[in-house]
Amino acid sequence: MEAQEARDILAKSSLVHSPEAVQAALQRVAGEIAATLSDKNPLVLCVMTGGLIFSGQLLPKLDFPLEFDYLHVTRYGQDTQGGKLSWRSAPWTTVKGRTVLVIDDILDEGLTLAAVCESIKRLGAAEVKTAVFVEKENGKQKPIKADFIGLTVPDRFVFGFGMDVSGAWRHLPAIYAMPEG
């Protein structure tokens, strides 16, 4: 995407959650995770690439022992609608017998996160918890419920704070929605 096209998309989009709301949700989720996992030395797995911003800002707020790794699986690629699940990289750290916290950017239809959690369970994890920064209110029955949720977003294509639009704007400190239609 060309820079001007990205600027035009942002200019036409609407703010869903301000940087202040994002940071408040981040702080709240960190507290919820600490209350649940601080005594478990969890393995935290970031789902790349969307979960990177959330993980990068969340981990410094967790003041307990943990290990960190990542995995890369996607249904979107450069598209705005989910397609076939594509595994690009499995975690390098063994999950066998561990409490695992999977961190991702968005719970939309839930198919990707459900597949990731099932794979981690098959690899022998003792317990799998999930944290998503946003959950889309789309009215659909989802195959998984996140244990920790930062914010909710409307049933529109959203971007910012880890989520991108055709590769752009993943780094924004706020969350925006594309125009409807």
What is the phi/psi pair of residue 160, to 5°? 105, 160
Q: Which of 68, 131, 168, 134 is nearest to 178 (CA)?
A: 168
**Predicted confidence (pLDDT) at residue 78 exceeds the cutoff of 60:** no
> Alpha carbon of 54 to those of 40, 65, 139: distances in Å?
21, 18, 24
- Read off the tokens for 43: 């393995």
Q: Known catalytic residue: 69? A: no
- Mean pLDDT is lowest, of 19-23, 61-65, 76-80, for 76-80
Helix (H, G, I), strand (E, B) or coil at 115: helix
Domain boundaries, the chain: 3-177
What's this model's pTM, rounded to 2 decimal places? Answer: 0.91
Copy the structure tokens of residue 26.
Answer: 């981040």
CATH number of the domain at 3-177, out of 1.25.40.10, 1.10.3130.10, 3.40.50.2020, 3.90.550.10? Answer: 3.40.50.2020
Q: Which of 108, 147, 155, 164 is the catalytic position? A: 108
β-strand pairing of 148-154 with 67-74? unpaired
Over the stretch 41-65, which tens digit does the pLDDT of each residue have? 999 999 998 999 999 999 999 999 9
